[in-house]
Amino acid sequence: MSHYAFMAPIKSGKAAAWKQYVQEMTTSRKDEMRASRKKLGLEKEEVWLQHTPNGDFAVVYIEAKNPGEVMQKMMTSEDPFDKWFREKVLIEVHGMDPSAPPPPPNEEILH
């Protein structure tokens, strides 16, 4: 099992929407999210909200056999929950472009 952590900036003015979407994912969409994450191969996912002088960030920690593959599948999946997550969270809140090449992996400095 591999682990991976990263930060994703939250667009200015989108923190409340991000919290609302997270609330949906942990309540009314909980079963959809669990099924999606299992299908994607995600074993563990933890997320924190980090406030900084440079804006808000989602701090994400995941565990999977292949974290890079999980992220690629998340960006291209046709599963209804994954499409909702991609449109609302990744694009609207984080400003990600699913058609763009992924950023380089983080460099692990201390373990």
pLDDT attached to residue 37: 97
- Spans in the chain with pLDDT lower than 50: none
pLDDT attached to residue 1: 86
pLDDT attached to residue 49: 97
Query: Could you give the 3-state DSSP secondary structure of residue 84?
Result: helix
pLDDT attached to residue 69: 93
Query: Could you give the 3-state DSSP secondary structure of residue 6?
Result: strand
pLDDT attached to residue 76: 93
Please list, in sequence order, all residues whose beta carbon lies within 8 angstroms of the beta carbon of residue 12, skipping any fewer than 6 positions away.
Answer: 55
What is the pTM assigned to this prediction?
0.91
pLDDT attached to residue 74: 93
